[in-house]
Amino acid sequence: MTKIQNSKQYNLEERTYKFAKNCRVFVKKLPRTIANIEDGKQLIRASGSVGANYIEANESLSKKDFIHRVKICRKEAKESRLWLKLVEVNGKETERERLTKEITELMKIFGAILEKCK
């Protein structure tokens, strides 16, 4: 791989890590309702899975495995967006919007990666 490609992979790994970390910070600030506790757990799982699967994609042994992992990244990103919509924020709308924008951009990036792999 060239340095440029490797740099892009690293940046996307870092970006997915930051998204997962920011989701954890966000969940800690939410009102403690039964729904938020359950939806927050799901958000934490899905957001972490995006980054974990992207790391796995970069370590894949075949193109087929890479494509499969990136599809999982996109799926988990969509799931993260759903959980972000479901949590009750009570004054944290700006933070939710920022996280929703970031995960939507990541979904588009994963979609573009899949298109290039065809």
What pLDDT is attached to residue 9? Answer: 52
CB 69 within 8 A of CB 56: yes
Region of 16 (left: φ > 0; alpha: ψ -120 to 50; beta: rest) is alpha
CA atoms of 52 and 73, how far apart (whole Å): 8
What pLDDT is attached to residue 3? Answer: 41
- What mean pLDDT, rounded, does the chain reach? 91
The CATH H-level (homologous superfamily) assignment of domain 3-117 is 23S rRNA-intervening sequence (1.20.1440.60)
Secondary structure of residue 96 in the 3-state scheme: helix
Question: What angle do helix axes 63-86 and 34-58 make, rounded to 10 degrees?
Answer: 160
CA atoms of 102 and 19, how far apart (whole Å): 7
In tens, the pLDDT along 49-95 reads: 999 999 999 999 999 999 999 999 999 999 999 999 999 998 889 99
What pLDDT is attached to residue 78? Answer: 98
Domain range summary for the chain, segments of one domain joined by +: 3-117
What pLDDT is attached to residue 92? Answer: 81
Q: How confident is the model at residue 118 (pLDDT cuts 50, 70, 90)?
A: confident
